[in-house]
Structure 1
Amino acid sequence: MTTVRKAVIPVAGLGTRVLPASKAIPKEMLPVVDKPVIQHVVEEAVKAGIKEIILVTRSGKSSIEDHFASNYELEHQLELKHKTAILDSVRNIVPKDVTIISVRQPEAKGLGHAVYCAAQIVNNEPFVVILPDVLVNNYQQEENDLQKMVSAFEQHNAAQIMVESVPQSQVHLYGITDCNGVKPAAGESAPIKGMVEKPKTNEAPSDLAVVGRYVLPARVMALLANTKPGAGDEIQLTDALDELLKDETVEAYRMTGKTYDCGNKLGFLQANVAYGLQHPDTAEGFKQFLAQQD
């Protein structure tokens, strides 16, 4: 099995759920404590062993690329002022052996289309897909969930889709996996029989919702090339995965961490509270502040 080295991160969305904050600033650049959302996601990928990150972007999102590029003037000023710790934080955003590449999605045609825009760079290798709206918090865990998914992919020779258990009353909001009645333990995987997009509460095959992390074989790109527009007249990644399921094993990996949907206002606030209580520079003072609130 080829080692998983590449990740595709679609960042071309408009961020309408967090307007007006995202009118002039990409939603992926909104900060969770002291790092933009996209940096948290890239760090997650790097920890999972990813060496090449492909951002699928559009016009108006150049600040994302700028964030990961060197800023010589800023670094020089920090050097002159001997602000070593801050200098390290901006100079070492990604390790030197990790490459970040951008490709354009010329028009909004769905998640499947965005992923397929990276096909030439993925170049017949297995790859990770990360949806940057969702932060996966594996605080104080030795391995993050994406690491475990990559390990499962390489051990089982099967695509991995991250899922989490959601309240039955909320299954209609998600893509739900059908694991034939099996519910894997947290940190484990189970074969998927099928997937249902936003089922009625009484028709959902399980409570295991797709989270926004995928480890996929190279063949998915070929399937996307032939995927016709589906829901919303867009090319859906789920449709390509349904085709993959017909003759290959696809597994649901049940996550161990907690998710925060930073693509909406409430999730973004929740992420800042959770990460603020974990950050060594803010944890104690923030805890005291929250205790004083009515």
Structure 2
Amino acid sequence: MKKPTKAIIAAAGFGTRFLPQTKAMPKEMLPLIDKPIIQYVVEELVEAGIKDIIIIGSANKRAIEDHFDAPNEELLANLRAGGAKKRPLIDVVQRLSEMANFVYIRLKGPYGNATPLACASRLFRHDEPVIYTFADDFIAASPSRFRQMIEASQQVFDGAFLSCKENYR
């Protein structure tokens, strides 16, 4: 089986379980220590060899695009003027846009878990392996869960590969 180089991240929900925090900030941008949750997901994908990341969002998710976009000159000038304390942050913010090739698609209409996959389907061939994940599913693992899934799928068979966790409730 060919290794995937593309991933689809579903980021179109409303985050209603986290209201009122998510009224003005997308759930995927909520911080986990020093980074938004979606950045951890992107870092996992990149660690697994993913080059192209398709983020399917809704109209209120502009903050996600802004986060992974190249930093604007005003921010860079501010960091340069900030002296030795702020200068290291220039590399941090510039690396965000260089992690992968990002494509953003705005989801319109009804939403379901498979809708983002259908929206992104025109960006990959039907026989091309892709990773489909949610923007707020983060698992701390080394190697990343995506690398583990890719390696396992290479050993098992050609076809779909799904990871799940047993629910002990």
Same fold (TM over 0.5): yes
Higher strand share: 1
Higher relative contact order (CA 8 A, sep 6+): 2
Flag structure 2 segments of 5+ consecutive residues without an equivalent.
none
Aligned mates of 2:160, 2:28 — CA distance in 1: 26
Distance 1:63 1:44, change over 3 A: same
Match of 2:116 in 1: 114
- 2:48 alignment partner AA: A
SS state at 2:139 partner: strand
How much does 1:94 deviate? 4.8
Determine which structure has more spread, i.e. the larger CA radius of gyration. 1
Match of 2:78 in 1: 77
* Number of equivalences: 164
SS state at 2:161 partner: strand
How much does 1:153 deviate? 1.9
SS state at 2:164 partner: strand
Picking from 85, 88, 108, the partner of 2:91 is 88
How much does 1:137 deviate? 1.0
Match of 1:200 in 2: none
SS state at 2:56 partner: strand
Aligned mates of 1:75, 1:155 — CA distance in 2: 46
Aligned mates of 2:97, 2:140 — CA distance in 1: 19
Match of 1:68 in 2: 68
SS state at 2:96 partner: coil
C-alpha contact 2:69 2:96 (8 A) present in aligned 1: no
How much does 1:165 deviate? 2.9
RMSD, matched Cα: 1.5
Match of 2:104 in 1: 102
- 1:128 alignment partner AA: I
- 2:125 alignment partner AA: N
In the superposition, the TM-score normalised over structure 2's length comes to 0.90
In the superposition, the TM-score normalised over structure 1's length comes to 0.53
C-alpha contact 2:54 2:120 (8 A) present in aligned 1: yes
Percent of aligned pairs with the same amino acid: 35
Aligned mates of 1:13, 1:109 — CA distance in 2: 8
Matches within 5 A, 1:1-294: 1-72=1-72, 73-82=74-83, 83-95=86-98, 98-124=100-126, 125-138=128-141, 141=142, 143-156=143-156, 157-167=158-168, 170=169
Q: For each residue in 1:21-42, what CA deviation from the matched residue of structure 2 results, as whole angstroms up to 9, or x when unmatched? A: 0001111111111101111111
How much does 1:63 deviate? 0.9
Runs of 4+ in 1 over 4 A off after TM superposition: none
